[in-house]
């Protein structure tokens, strides 16, 4: 059963030991504002990861179907910043090295797990990941790829031409995804506080770029500003 909590940190926990998984899930959800989804093996975890958004992953190293290291490597092909922590009773140095080298994990916790240590560790990794997201060069929004480095927006292999103001507005909206950005902030950004009307064409053109998506949309927040919305599971950072 998933505990639904407001603004909870969502964790994917993959472990083929059902008792350990249930115990850790309950301990984490009691210790902090966490929502823990348990997968019984690596393949099930991979399916969960592709079906919804997670703030962090706890992966047992030794699992059937797909082990934790292999699973982490697959996750890294589509998400470079989500925190990955290995959970294992295996204390061999070569196992740890393999996990960090192949799976690109962020940390390694040995069983039995110490909840007072794991909770702040997850919180710190999630904070760091959120900072990395804000600094990401390439962001995938549904089928759109926004490259902030070369200021391109592509959809299904086709690149849209964007003027400087459009790039500035999109960068700000993407950087604060699913949050409202005030009209005054955007005006200041593109025109140094110039005429408000200069903002509308840029927003209209960006909306036209996203018209083929059922998930990505720029909303007008009446009397306040604009919000670029997209389900978290449709967003990837590279």
Digit-coded pLDDT (tens) for 20-47: 999 999 999 999 889 999 999 999 999 9
Instruction: Say if residues 171 and 206 touch (Cβ distance below 8 Å).
Output: no
Average pLDDT over residues 189-209: 80
Looking at residue 151, what is its pLDDT? 87
| pLDDT score of 196 more than 80 | no
| pLDDT score of 236 more than 70 | yes
- Residue-wise DSSP of 128-186: HHHHHHHT-SEEEETTEEEETTTTEEEETTEEEP--HHHHHHHHHHHHTTTSEEEHHHH
| pLDDT score of 109 more than 90 | no
| pLDDT score of 4 more than 70 | no
Looking at residue 194, what is its pLDDT? 52
pTM for this entry: 0.65
Instruction: List the chain domain ranges.
Output: 9-134, 138-237
CATH 1.10.1060.10 fits 138-237, yes or no: no
Give the span between the Cα atoms of 180 and 224, in whole angstroms.
Answer: 8
Give the span between the Cα atoms of 218 and 209, in whole angstroms.
Answer: 10
Instruction: Say if residues 72 and 62 touch (Cβ distance below 8 Å).
Output: no
Hey, CA dihedral for 185, 191, 192, 196, is it positive or negative? negative
Looking at residue 13, what is its pLDDT? 97
Per-residue HEC secondary structure of 187-225 comes to HHHHHCCCCHHHHHHHHHHHHHHCCCCCCCEEEEECCCE
Looking at residue 17, what is its pLDDT? 92
Looking at residue 103, what is its pLDDT? 56
| pLDDT score of 192 more than 80 | no
| pLDDT score of 2 more than 50 | no
Average pLDDT over residues 47-54: 86
**Matching CATH topology for 9-134 and 138-237?**
no
Looking at residue 97, what is its pLDDT? 57
CATH architecture for segment(s) 9-134: 3-Layer(aba) Sandwich (3.40)
Q: How confident is the model at residue 56 (pLDDT cuts 50, 70, 90)?
A: very high
| pLDDT score of 94 more than 70 | no
Looking at residue 119, what is its pLDDT? 95
Least confident of 77-91, 139-153, 191-205: 191-205
| pLDDT score of 112 more than 90 | no
pLDDT per position as a tens digit, 64-78: 889 898 999 999 888
């Amino acid at each position: 059963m998933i505990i639904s909590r407001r603004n909870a940190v969502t964790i994917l926990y993959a472990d083929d030991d059902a008792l350990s998984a249930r115990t850790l899930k309950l301990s984490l959800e009691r210790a902090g504002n966490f929502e823990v989804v348990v997968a019984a093996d690596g393949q099930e975890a991979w399916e969960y990861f592709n079906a919804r958004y997670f703030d962090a992953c706890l992966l047992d190293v030794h699992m059937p179907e797909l082990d934790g290291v292999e699973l982490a490597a697959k996750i890294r092909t589509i998400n470079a910043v989500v925190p990955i922590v290995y959970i294992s009773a295996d204390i061999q140095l070569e196992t740890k090295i393999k996990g960090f080298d192949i799976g690109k994990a962020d940390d390694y916790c040995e069983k039995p797990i110490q909840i007072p240590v794991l909770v702040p560790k997850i919180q710190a990794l999630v904070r760091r990941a959120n900072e990395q997201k804000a600094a990401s060069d390439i962001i995938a929004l549904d089928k759109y790829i926004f490259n902030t480095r070369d200021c391109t927006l592509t959809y299904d292999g086709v690149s849209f031409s964007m003027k400087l103001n459009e790039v500035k507005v999109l960068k700000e909206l993407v950087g604060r995804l699913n949050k409202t950005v005030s009209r005054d902030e955007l005006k200041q950004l593109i025109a140094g506080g110039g005429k408000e009307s200069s903002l509308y064409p840029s927003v209209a053109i960006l909306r036209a770029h996203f018209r083929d998506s059922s998930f990505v949309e720029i909303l007008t927040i009446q009397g306040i500003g604009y919000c670029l919305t997209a389900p978290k599971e449709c967003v990837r950072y590279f």
